Amino acid sequence: MRTPPDYRALAPTIGVDPAAIPTIIGSAARSWARLGEARRCLSELDADAPEGVALFALGSLGRLEASEASDLDLAAIYRGDAATAAAADQRRSEAATRLRALGFEVADKTFARALDLDALVADVGGRQDTCDHLTYRALLLTEGAWVHAPAVARGILDAIFQAYTRGTIASGRFLSALGNDLHRYYRTICVDYRHKVEVAGKGWALRNLKLRHSRKTWHLANLVLFTWASEVDEDAREGLIAAHLSEPPLARIAAGLDALGAAPLAGPLFVAYERFLAALADPEARASLDALDHEARTESALYRDLRGNADRLDDAAQAIALHLLENHQRYMIRFGLL
């Protein structure tokens, strides 16, 4: 993703008034500006930067959906032949300190430790592969925006992408190895939700709504993109997917449906997603959802509203999926369902 999507210009093509999606438009502009601030801030580290270490913004900032209430998922990836884990962890720590001084809420959760690129790509699908490896691969490819060492970052992303495409036997003429791994990640986070709320006792409402809005939209964007790619010449598929995979999910869906002659189907999805993003941009709404007990969910007008909105997003997503199934049946049944 080299430039942000112009949702204002895109809106008429999907049958939506730009005035109906102000949060989507504003979040994209704000996120792009904040990425620029982060990059300029961390460029000061370049003079003594260890070779082979790159830093990425993941999550809502990487998807260009961030609000003032969003935190920053900061991931550090290094090449083991050029840097050590200790050097990469130190670089991430230094960057996090600088970014916090700039007002970023840097999270130290899933992405707190640097990972070796070799570990991510050496055993995809094998016994040494882990949920963390899968998470990093899926998110780096689909929402990883560099914030430090762009040339190294580009090489890392290319290496991850090529881990799926360089095979002579299993890569698939529809890049099915990559599509299956992205699908696997989506199903993994669906099951992970169960563990977090049932076993780990973590807050459920916000996780539930994210699963039903942003995670589902992410998955749908992959289905749309790969279906689109299935309709172009075989020698153009890899380039098409490489060019669009890192775009924000909403932009990916709009571009894919437009190419498939079904752009208006994206309109209801955008409208439902707008309501979700607007709620997440409200600190009071987020706090209310974070504190909401499952037993009290029906007493919360906010939760009831967003649950209904999730149903509307479901309807919009199902209309898109049904269109893909009816008009691109061979690909969707073989790779999307079976």
**pLDDT value of residue 47:** 61
The number of CA neighbours under 13 Å toward the Cβ of 50 is 23
DSSP for 120-165, please give it. Answer: HHTTTTSTT--HHHHHHHHHHHHH-EEEE-HHHHHHHHHHHHHHHH
**pLDDT value of residue 172:** 77
Mode of pairing for the β-strands spanning 53-58 and 115-116: unpaired
Torsional sign, CA 57, 60, 65, 66: negative
In this structure, which amino acid lies at residue 321? A
Domain boundaries defined on the chain: 14-166, 168-338
Give φ, ψ of 145 to 5 degrees: -105, 120
pLDDT along the chain (338 residues), means of 10: 90 98 98 97 78 95 95 97 95 97 94 97 95 98 97 97 86 88 97 92 93 98 98 96 98 98 99 98 95 95 98 99 97 92
**pLDDT value of residue 20:** 98
Judged on CB neighbours under 10 Å (0-12, 13-18, 19+), 257 is: buried
**pLDDT value of residue 2:** 73
**pLDDT value of residue 191:** 96
**pLDDT value of residue 44:** 84
Mode of pairing for the β-strands spanning 115-116 and 106-107: unpaired
**pLDDT value of residue 49:** 66
Instruction: Tell me the CATH number of domain 14-166, given options 3.90.75, 3.30.70, 3.30.460, 3.40.50.
Output: 3.30.460
**pLDDT value of residue 139:** 98
**pLDDT value of residue 318:** 99
CA distance 313 to 269: 6
